[in-house]
Structure 1
């Protein structure tokens, strides 16, 4: 399956933190197309697990399925409602956007409007609205009838493939989910009798690493590889720049296990797989922060896919980085413990 198709299918699915059922069903569907030798199961009271292989050595792959979103916080009148954030939404990214809410009766569309430039005064031009001044206009879809406080929503946008890249919402972290699914595809080339691989698609990362806390505790692998996204531009000048199309970024820092990190770097060199290095001197801001301290501690590796415009509806990713990350992880798994013969 092409990474572009995986990414677009996953990006278009809706899965705001703790409301991820639609994207979980999409992952179930896609994984069944990729492999018939898997066990799909619920894990961590809300996350999704896929098991491949039946060996004694357990390796866990982690990616979060949730996305940032918005929630109806107040019904103002028959036309307007107010909203608030679920996860790290910058309210400025919602202005002049069409939004979609999941109600008890299906989806309902609204618009976050803006004052036309012709009518703006100087005070309007210098004002950046916050959620106390942001309204959704539902007049385009029958008004606020059927809308309730607590209904969740996202920017209504479809993904696109442009010039070899994919743009859309929720690339953070559907890119990581795509890496896990592509890794499953690549693992079909290997015999892994001594290993069990757990693909853990976690809920609630954007609001506190909720899913990873539970799945890592329940599965307790000896090695965990966390796949998330990182900034593909605008890094501080004293850090090496991470760029799209130059491979996944391997994390270096106190959150990661040095020995396993060196092994995966050696794998990249050995098999000529593109990679970049990302120093994370304190915390990673990913599920690795919690996975590495579960129980007695899980040896953790961090892999990040560079993207542009993080936490917006126009995130951008290069699918070649998805492929490179999946090949790297699959080869690491195959070589883990100096075993893993090719099934050719």
Structure 2
């Protein structure tokens, strides 16, 4: 059972209630602001302010300089739906130590960025927002790495800005199939919203353990549950849930699957083969559910669709290999980026 922080409640009341009901305070102890205020990012957090859809928005990002001799290359890390730029922590360190400049933004609607009351979410819009950020930072060419939903966004970015995409790396991207076309049921935004309002630390941990980490759990994963649960439990609770609902609708209704064949940038797929992520599978019939989320098959299929793509598999790993086995993942990523 999880607890939501209401503006009129004190944190002490929330924690007392959790203790009385036997909840795990280590997973739900912290409450964060609407833009994740109070959560500690691994590197200095900056904000890019810009105008979009008749409103002023703020996009949080980390811009990490090389810690050793600069190699002149920039890597942009795009987070997934239930992730933030901060979850790239270990990968940022590994890249910066090898001379890369690393930019890790939080997309609008997520984490440290604005949660608009009204926003027409499209992958094109998020790609344009990111492109504007990179222009502001003076970055005209970069390696684009996208994980999970960030993989769909990275694909869209590479399709829109091929000249600015030095290389595309997709880490367990969702959207390797069209769930809707395979029979996964559609949800209305209102239905997504009601679902998202009910998120709590226990539910987040259960889902992440099953899907992200192949049923395993390590203490270092707790902070990422705390990050999401604390954001959802904070004063921005309703806005966070509403934007999450809009984003899920975007993911479900805007497939990039049919355009993988149109990519014309060097592309690598990095796939944890035990991943089963599929939007809508939780409410699909057993027959439809059985068709969805087979990353051990999907990775191979999509690698054949993308011209010249390279496939790297992590046997037995789940949806987030960069967090499940960061040392192995980061070494593999660095080796791939060094390839001519």
* TM-score calculated relative to the size of structure 2: 0.30
Higher helix fraction: Structure 1 or Structure 2?
2
* TM-score calculated relative to the size of structure 1: 0.30
Higher strand fraction: Structure 1 or Structure 2?
1
- Larger RCO of the pair (alpha carbons < 8 Å, separation 6+): 1
Is the radius of gyration larger for structure 1 or structure 2? 1
